[in-house]
């Protein structure tokens, strides 16, 4: 809780200021207060569509209860956002547990360069390893030499094997090697990096499709998780990337990074709701332990607490 509060401090502080202003001089939640609340949510990067959904839910409650004191607004807002987030919840593998019928459990990680993809893979590898699982990483972002090098640094740091080829190699071939190696070792979890070039959507789609096909051939059903990494500090850009990637492949989970140092934390609520994809992890720092399994209640309580 303390770690989360600290990680989300900037958004918290900004939300608190705006919420205080939204109800100043008001005893009752009325249309003015709801208008102000709408502005609070939109300027906190919750996104227009999701903001409207939240306001509608609160309007329903106001209509039902007739009189709501502004001192209760915060509690009601939290309840409604938690309920909204429950529509897209990652049920299967909280706390770095793995489904026992999927071994190795294969995670394909997608996202634009710079969003924190490599760091998230490193942190995940560390978490799984600390939980006693054997991990294999695959460097299938063969487009940039730096991507392979960065992933290697993380692999060495957290002491897990990395399967790689030369820069420019076929990503599907790296995926093939990685899954073959993991299978023969009896590894518990495989995490594969992929190239994040958005400038050519067709290429991106073709590449991801090809990588997936190879995975499924070696381990039927793989990848079991397609994790899209988004940079929370980019606000509306994160929405655009979620849109592009969900067109290119079947994203099953989100990791939203860099929530420390930004006031745009509301993006977590909006992206998940708008694209109907559960948030599985949040990144709140550069360190190896700064990755948390997303807990919607803890998150909302921290943000609006």
Q: Check: CB of residue 84 under 8 Å from CB of residue 56.
A: no
- Per CB under 6 A, contacts with ligand GDP among 250-269 are 257-258, 260-261
Q: How far is the CB of 253 from ligand GDP (least distance, A)?
A: 16
Burial string for 50-89 (b: 16+ CB within 10 Å, else e) reads bbebbbebbeeebeeeeebebeebbebbbebbbebbeebe
Residue nearer to ligand GDP on the CB measure, 40 or 238: 238
Would you list which residues are annotated within the binding site for GTP? 111-118, 193-197, 257-260
Q: How far is the CB of 232 from ligand GDP (least distance, A)?
A: 8
Range 33-36 contact pairs with CB under 8 angstroms and sequence separation of 24 or more: 33/70, 33/73, 34/58, 34/59, 34/62
Q: What is the spatial order of strands in the sheet that 162-163 belongs to?
A: 162-163, 135-140, 189-194, 105-110, 225-231, 253-257, 279-283, 291-293
Q: Check: CB of residue 231 under 8 Å from CB of residue 238.
A: yes
149 binds ligand GDP (CB under 6 A): no
290 binds ligand GDP (CB under 6 A): yes
The residue range among 61-69, 200-208, 263-271, 281-289 that interacts with ligand GDP, by the rule CB under 6 A, is 281-289
Q: How far is the CB of 96 from ligand GDP (least distance, A)?
A: 17
Size of the site for ligand GDP (CB under 6 A): 18
118 binds ligand GDP (CB under 6 A): yes
Would you list which residues are annotated within the binding site? 111-118, 193-197, 257-260
Measured in residues, the chain has a length of 305
Q: How far is the CB of 228 from ligand GDP (least distance, A)?
A: 11
- Binder to ligand GDP among 14, 36, 150, 302 (CB under 6 A)? 150
Q: Which residues bind ligand GDP (CB under 6 A)?
A: 111, 113-119, 150, 257-258, 260-261, 283-286, 290
């Amino acid at each position: 809780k303390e770690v989360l509060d600290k990680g989300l401090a900037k958004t918290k502080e900004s939300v608190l200021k705006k919420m205080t202003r939204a109800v100043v001089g008001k005893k009752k939640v009325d249309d003015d207060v709801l208008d102000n609340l709408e502005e609070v949510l939109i300027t906190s990067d919750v996104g227009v569509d999701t903001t409207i959904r939240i306001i509608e839910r609160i309007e329903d409650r106001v209509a039902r209860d007739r009189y709501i004191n502004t001192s209760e607004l915060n509690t009601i807002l939290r309840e409604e956002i938690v309920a909204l987030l429950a529509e897209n919840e990652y049920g299967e593998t909280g706390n770095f547990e793995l489904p026992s019928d999927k071994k190795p459990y294969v995670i394909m990680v997608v996202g634009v360069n710079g969003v924190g993809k490599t760091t998230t893979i490193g942190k995940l590898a560390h978490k799984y390893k600390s939980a006693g699982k054997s991990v294999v990483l695959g460097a299938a972002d063969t487009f940039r030499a730096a991507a392979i090098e960065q992933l290697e640094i993380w692999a060495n740091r957290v002491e897990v094997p990395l399967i790689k080829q030369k820069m420019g190699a076929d990503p599907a071939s790296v995926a093939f090697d990685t899954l073959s190696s993991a299978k023969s070792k009896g590894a518990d979890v495989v995490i594969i990096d992929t190239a994040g070039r958005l400038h050519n959507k067709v290429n991106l789609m073709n590449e991801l499709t090809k990588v997936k096909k190879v995975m499924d051939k070696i381990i039927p059903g793989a990848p079991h998780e397609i994790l899209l990494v988004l940079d929370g500090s980019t606000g509306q850009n994160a929405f655009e990337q979620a849109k592009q990637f969900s067109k290119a492949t079947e994203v099953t989970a989100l990791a939203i990074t860099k929530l420390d140092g930004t006031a745009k934390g509301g993006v977590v609520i909006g992206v998940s709701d708008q694209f109907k994809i559960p948030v599985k992890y949040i990144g709140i720092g550069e360190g190896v332990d700064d990755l948390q399994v997303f807990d919607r209640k803890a998150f909302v309580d921290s943000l609006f607490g």
